Amino acid sequence: MNNPKENKTILVVDDEAMLLDILGDFIGKQGYQVLLAKSGHEALEVAKEYAGKVDLLLTDIMMPNMNGLELAKTLVATDPDIKVIFMSGHLQSAIDSQNTPCFRDGFIQKPFSYDTLKTYIKKTLNEMD
């Protein structure tokens, strides 16, 4: 039987290399295609060069040069169907004041557990049992 997750691609963006590797490894083990980027600008390049569709953007908010909010706005402008989960060590209330429309899919507070991340991803991609 075909695993529906195999058809889903998640772009993970974080400027902390170790966390990026850990997240990429975990998400890949869940059966998803994983694309990794260390910055907003790199993420745009990765998404542009990727032949398939990016279903979910999982991005840190606070990053140098291009933050996660700017990245999400840019990707949503080119693909309104992309889902977005923001992650941050900062409080959501401080980020909510940014008033971005692509905040609709979710926010996950760092640090978080693997189970929490797995649940957020499944919920956002409408894969809940």
Rounded Cα distance between 41 and 66, Å, is: 7
Q: What tens digit of pLDDT does each residue of 102-118 get?
A: 556 788 889 999 999 99
What does each C-alpha distance from 79 to 73, 74, 75, 113 come to in angstroms?
10, 9, 6, 29
Q: Let me know if residue 111 belongs to a domain.
A: yes
The count of structural domains within the chain is: 1
- Predicted TM-score (pTM) of the model is 0.89
Q: Let me know if residue 129 belongs to a domain.
A: no
DSSP 8-state class, residue 126:
T
Residue carrying the six token digits 């542009």: 48
Q: What tens digit of pLDDT does each residue of 4-51 get?
A: 566 899 999 999 999 999 999 999 999 999 999 999 999 999 999 999
Write down the pLDDT at residue 88.
Answer: 87
Range of the domain at 88: 4-124
- The 3-state DSSP class for residue 27 equals helix
CATH number of the domain that 94 lies in?
Answer: 3.40.50.2300
User: Phi and psi at residue 84, in whole multiples of 5°?
Assistant: -135, 130
